Structure 1
Amino acid sequence: MNPVKVRDLEIGSGKPKIIVPIVGVTKEDIVNEARTFGDLPLDVVEWRVDWFEGSDDFSQVKEVLEGLREALGNTPILMTFRTSKEGGEKPIEMADYIALNVNAAKTGLVDLVDVEAFSGDDVVREIIEGAHANNVKVVASNHDFHKTPSKSDIVYRLRKMQDLGADIPKIAVMPQSTKDVLTLLAAAEEMASDFADRPIITMSMGPKGVISRLAGEAFGSSMTFGAAKKASAPGQMGVLDLDVVLEDIHNAM
């Protein structure tokens, strides 16, 4: 497996890297929250642009990115527009989705963008090509807030993301039982051990799935999400507690 280098961060080696989301509505809320992150044990900040009131006006999006970059210094920024069909705040036309991500990459202000892997292969490829042309990495993602697919289906989805050229395939699923959590962990291990040539991110959401957010180093998931203020998905732990557990597991291993 080849780690992915983003600024001074090497994703895919050592303990799982911590991503902290920002889900503010106004520019002031978003940038002010980023300014409070200085002492937090985080590796990447994810800006959930679908929460932003001006997400349909790229000039406003760019202004927020400029504020985030100033506030965060050298911390990598992942920009994500999570569509309503995958649990986000609002829908978006695919042409606008492509333009948003590619134009963000062109600014030089973001380090990674998220593309929903089942938006259509042509859409995904266009965003990946546009991001890579501007030295921006791509997280391809898939979310199921209702169930946990079979192990073979989870592995298939992650392999498809890899085949499409994403730098980091990611899947998040909802367990209906503890056995579902084991299914997700087994799929992560199989993907990481048998198929992945790059870092992956996997998680089981909600209270039942919390263990999957902590055990990535054992099962092959390279990153995990922790909340500084407001969680962006069910089951996210506070970033301070998350860091302690990840460090303890890393040291024990």
Structure 2
Amino acid sequence: MICVSISGQTASQILEELNHVSMAEIRLDLLNLSDNEIMEVFEAHPNLIATYRPGRVTEIERTRQLKLALKHGATWIDIELEAPTDWKKEMIMFASKLGKKVIISTHNFEKTPTTDELLSLVEVMQKEGADLVKLACLADSAAACARLLSLYERYKNILVIGMGPHGSITRIAAPFLGAPFTFAAGTAGKTAPGQFTFSEMQRAIQLINHGE
């Protein structure tokens, strides 16, 4: 499955795009939606991730918008491994009470850690209560991609992403190695380095599936 990461659009544009995808990530930190628009968007599709990266607004406001999304239909919430422990526990408990799933994610924009370091990260995120571990690292070589992809042999409920041009293969390989979905860019543009557009990812998966 392809999850389209949606950013930089109006509510009406988002609703139109949701008509054409089976799954989407709503990047609330990259959007300017009112409360009513947040409710409308998350009520419009049955398979959405609510993401709000820190830094743009206060933690109180970020928490409020994420909880609003969960109450109005978000299937998943993405929270950062690096977030304060008490906040993570609060959000995981809130999501759990609503029957929603939690992605715990971490991003390394400088390098791909060693295999031992990657294994340690996954173990920590699983212990903290992740339904899905998302591990994204800058991959500057084939060896870095191999380290990331090797994690699929050890773990279930994991999504690994090699960021940057060298890491593109990890995005294509993800659904074939056990990841529940892989990310692609929405019509407003890419939200991560090395990301494919939805049509590019769709075509790549079709080629692998059918050899056409």
Instruction: Answer yes or no: is 1:209 the counterpart of 2:146.
Output: no
Compute the displacement of 1:93 (Å): 4.1
Instruction: Answer yes or no: is 1:200 the counterpart of 2:158.
Output: yes
Quickly say closer, same or farther: Cα 1:92–1:161, change in 2 above 3 A: farther
Question: What is the aligned partner in structure 1 of residue 51 from structure 2?
Answer: 80
Question: What is the aligned partner in structure 1 of residue 5 from structure 2?
Answer: 21
Kindly tell me the number of residue pairs found equivalent between the two proteins.
Answer: 210
Compute the displacement of 1:36 (Å): 3.4
Q: Percent identity?
A: 25
The answer to whether the Cα contact below 8 Å between 2:46 and 2:74 also exists between their aligned partners in 1 is no
Question: What is the aligned partner in structure 2 of residue 237 from structure 1?
Answer: 196
Report the Cα distance in structure 2 between the residues aligned to 1:101 and 1:36, rounded to whole angstroms.
21
Secondary structure of the 1:233 match is coil
Quickly say closer, same or farther: Cα 1:248–1:75, change in 2 above 3 A: farther
Compute the displacement of 1:188 (Å): 3.4
Quickly say closer, same or farther: Cα 1:146–1:175, change in 2 above 3 A: same
Structure 2 unmatched ranges of 5 or more: none
TM-score, reference length from structure 1: 0.74
Q: 2:181 aligns with which of 223, 239, 242?
A: 223
TM-score, reference length from structure 2: 0.87
Report the Cα distance in structure 2 between the residues aligned to 1:92 and 1:149, rounded to whole angstroms.
30
Report the Cα distance in structure 1 between the residues aligned to 2:87 and 2:209, rounded to whole angstroms.
38
Secondary structure of the 1:215 match is helix
Question: What is the aligned partner in structure 1 of residue 117 from structure 2?
Answer: 153
The answer to whether the Cα contact below 8 Å between 1:94 and 1:123 also exists between their aligned partners in 2 is no
**C-alpha root-mean-square deviation of aligned residues, in Å?**
2.2
Question: What is the aligned partner in structure 2 of residue 67 from structure 1?
Answer: 40
Return the structure number with greater relative CO, CA threshold 8 A, min gap 6: 1
Report the residue type matching 2:51 in the other structure: T
Q: How does 1:153-192 map to 2 (within 5 A)?
A: 153-190=117-154, 192=155
Report the residue type matching 2:2 in the other structure: I
The answer to whether the Cα contact below 8 Å between 1:172 and 1:205 also exists between their aligned partners in 2 is yes
Question: What is the aligned partner in structure 1 of residue 32 from structure 2?
Answer: 53
Report the residue type matching 1:118 in the other structure: E
Report the residue type matching 2:191 in the other structure: S
Structure 1 unmatched ranges of 5 or more: 1-16, 55-59, 84-89
Quickly say closer, same or farther: Cα 1:217–1:36, change in 2 above 3 A: closer
Q: How does 1:97-116 map to 2 (within 5 A)?
A: 97-105=62-70, 107-116=71-80
Compute the displacement of 1:115 (Å): 0.6
The answer to whether the Cα contact below 8 Å between 2:29 and 2:52 also exists between their aligned partners in 1 is yes
Quickly say closer, same or farther: Cα 1:244–1:75, change in 2 above 3 A: farther
Report the residue type matching 2:28 in the other structure: V
Question: What is the aligned partner in structure 2 of residue 34 from structure 1?
Answer: 15
Question: What is the aligned partner in structure 2 of residue 138 from structure 1?
Answer: 102
The answer to whether the Cα contact below 8 Å between 2:39 and 2:68 also exists between their aligned partners in 1 is no
Compute the displacement of 1:51 (Å): 1.3
Secondary structure of the 2:119 match is helix
Report the Cα distance in structure 1 between the residues aligned to 2:119 and 2:56, rounded to whole angstroms.
27
Compute the displacement of 1:111 (Å): 1.6
